Amino acid sequence: MRFSFLTRLTLRTWMIVTLVFLYVPLVVVAILSFNTANSLSWPPKGFTFDWWNETFALKGDNSPRSALWTSVKIALTATAIALVIGTLAAIAMQRYRFFGKSVFSFVFVLPIALPGIVTGMALQNAFKRRIDIGPIDFSLGLGYRSLVVAHATFCVVIAYNNVIARLRRSAPNLLEASADLGADGMQTFRYVTFPLMRSALVAGGLLAFALSFDEIVVTTFTAGSGVMTLPQWILGAIARPNNVPQVNVMATFVMLVSIPVAWLAQKLSE
């Protein structure tokens, strides 16, 4: 379909306006992280690395460095769990037929579609409830473990969608050819299935990590009082004027790390 010159010009203009609207604020935050002033004043009054040195030199449970490390640990653990569960579920949904398959598929992807506040409230009630199974009195409580489980519930959807999309694009006769050549189930998975979905696993893992790393709504409901992630720290620090430069530093640091990761995930998903 060929568009007129006016239509192409209009589309390009809107594209440029949209990109400017999205990315100029990010550039401003990055510039202000090197501002000598202890405020969000513009234009910057000078250039300094003092805020970066001060931010990463802070120690303690409520420091930005501690919150960053907590977010990384939770995201890595939740991503690992999500990759295992999501991969197994994708293989089962792609290869086998069973009663209630469509319902199971819908329920499996539901956590990513529900509003975060609904998921957070439901998980909080579940984690606080004590479960009596015979002599076993079980309660997960709120803390690091509840955060990992909560993040894994929506990260698993990302892994599942990436893997099942890759399996659906692969030729179905490859498994039959592997079986005809004498390979058992594990050999087929090792030499055929896993290489086919390897890049999808990496892309799904990167996207799941990013989703877990910046999650704030579900985290607020399931963290409890003993755990603080980086988004929680930023939410609390941005209300205090003296901590605004540190917020700019951490936001810029996360951008510098996440942008190449997002680009890599996009390339691997192609």
**What are phi and psi for residue 261, nearest 5 degrees?**
-65, -45
Residue 85 confidence (pLDDT) above 80:
yes
Look up residue 175 and give its two tokens. Answer: 């498994």
- Cα separation, 166 vs 197, in Å, equals 6
Other Cβ atoms within 10 Å of 267 Cβ, number: 10
The continuous run of DSSP H or E covering 65 comes out as helix 64-95
Residue 134 confidence (pLDDT) above 60:
no
The reported pTM is 0.80
- Cα separation, 112 vs 136, in Å, equals 32
Count of helix runs (H) and strand runs (E) in the chain: 12, 2
Mean pLDDT of 51-74: 81
Q: Could you tell me the CA-to-CA distances from 98 to 94, 104, 108, 136, 156 in Å, in that order?
A: 11, 10, 15, 33, 21
248 and 33 Cβ atoms separated by less than 8 Å:
yes
Residue 40 confidence (pLDDT) above 80:
no
Share the mean pLDDT of the chain: 80
Mean pLDDT of 219-248: 81
- Cα separation, 186 vs 184, in Å, equals 6
* Beta carbons within 8 Å of 55's beta carbon, 6+ residues apart: 64, 65, 245, 246, 249, 250
- Cα separation, 161 vs 168, in Å, equals 11
Percent of the chain with pLDDT over 70: 89
Mean pLDDT of 26-43: 78
Q: Which residues pair with 35 in a beta bridge?
A: 47
Look up residue 263 and give its two tokens. Answer: 């680009």
Percent of the chain with pLDDT over 90: 5
Domains defined along the chain, listed by start: 70-269 (1.10.3720.10)
Q: What is the pLDDT of residues 105-116, one digit of tens each?
A: 787 778 878 888
Look up residue 3 and give its two tokens. Answer: 């568009």
